[in-house]
């Protein structure tokens, strides 16, 4: 009787062990399938846009004043007087940044960063230069990014903006709506936007803008 009970217990323990092994194998298989599904459904992030701020938040910066040398050679002096030592000599046509004035003298900064004074008789005002800025300013309003009722999805566009601040082309980066009409609406909205572009070396430059529209 005791030996029979022992055999029954042994069989039961083996059955429990086999069941545990099957459960572990099934769990590992499900985990792998879940990981593969996550890899297939992963959505690439939208492109990094140039920082854009609303025009209402932008504090206007006065354009930088410049002068251009009209004399064949001009001494840049330490102080606003002809008796002061010359820091450097500049040539005709060179463009100098204006830092201040003292009577007929003009305090200037050279291209290499050196500063000094020149007499206003030998320079003339040059076209003002818009200060450099790394951000773009949004001049027009953006449509509200929500709709009434259940959410349909999101459209993310990469908009190319030219130096005049106009959107010249768009590219779909992500579309979770699956509805071509909504993509077309987002593209139409993006093309209607107007910007003040970033400025480098006195000139506005083209940039990319990531436009996200939730439907």
**Residue 106, domain CATH:** 2.30.30.40
Question: Per the domain annotation, does 97 fall within a domain?
Answer: yes
Last residue of a domain, one of 86, 111, 129: 129
Residues 139, 187: one domain? yes
- How many angstroms separate the CA atoms of 8 and 86, rounded? 109
Please state, for a pLDDT cut of 90, what percent of the chain lies above it: 50
Contact 107, 24 (CB under 8 A): no
Domain housing 147:
52-59+133-214
Whether 165 is in a domain gets the answer yes
Q: What is the pLDDT of residue 12?
A: 53
3-state SS, residue 94 = coil
Do 147 and 194 belong to one domain?
yes
Among candidate residues 100, 129, 158, the one where a domain is terminated:
129
pLDDT at 40 over 50: no
Per residue in 86-117, pLDDT (tens digit) is 999 999 999 899 999 999 999 999 988 999 99
* 207 shares its domain with 138: yes
pLDDT per residue as tens digits for the range 165-197: 999 999 999 999 999 999 999 999 999 999 999
158: nearest Cα among 170, 145, 143, 176:
170
Same domain, 148 and 192: yes
Is the whole model's pTM more than 0.85, yes or no?
no
Residues 6+ apart with CB under 8 A from 120: 67, 101, 104, 105, 106
The total number of structural domains in the chain stands at 2
Phi–psi pair at 197, nearest 5 degrees? -70, 165
For residue range 135-158, what is the model confidence (pLDDT) as tens digits?
999 998 766 555 556 788 999 999
Instruction: Identify the pLDDT of residue 131.
Output: 79
Q: Which of these three, 129, 144, 171, is where a domain ends?
A: 129
């Amino acid at each position: 009787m005791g030996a029979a009970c022992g055999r029954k217990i042994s069989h039961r323990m083996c059955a429990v062990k086999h069941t545990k092994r099957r459960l572990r194998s099934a769990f590992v298989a499900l985990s792998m399938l879940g990981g593969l599904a996550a890899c297939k459904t992963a959505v690439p992030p939208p492109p990094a846009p140039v920082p854009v701020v609303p025009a209402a938040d932008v504090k206007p910066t006065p354009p930088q004043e410049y002068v251009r040398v009209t004399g064949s050679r001009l001494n840049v002096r330490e102080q606003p007087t002809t008796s002061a030592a010359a820091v450097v000599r500049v040539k005709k046509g060179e463009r100098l940044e204006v830092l201040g004035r003292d009577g007929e003298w003009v305090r200037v900064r050279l291209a290499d960063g050196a500063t000094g004074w020149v007499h206003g008789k030998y320079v003339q005002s040059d076209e003002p230069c818009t200060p450099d800025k790394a951000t773009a300013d949004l001049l027009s309003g953006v449509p509200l990014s929500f709709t009434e009722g259940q959410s349909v999805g999101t459209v993310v566009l990469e908009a190319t903006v030219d130096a005049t601040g106009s959107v010249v082309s768009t590219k779909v980066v992500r579309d979770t709506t699956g509805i071509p009409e909504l993509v077309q609406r987002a593209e139409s909205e993006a093309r209607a936007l107007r910007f003040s572009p970033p400025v480098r070396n006195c000139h506005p430059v083209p940039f990319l803008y990531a436009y996200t529209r939730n439907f």
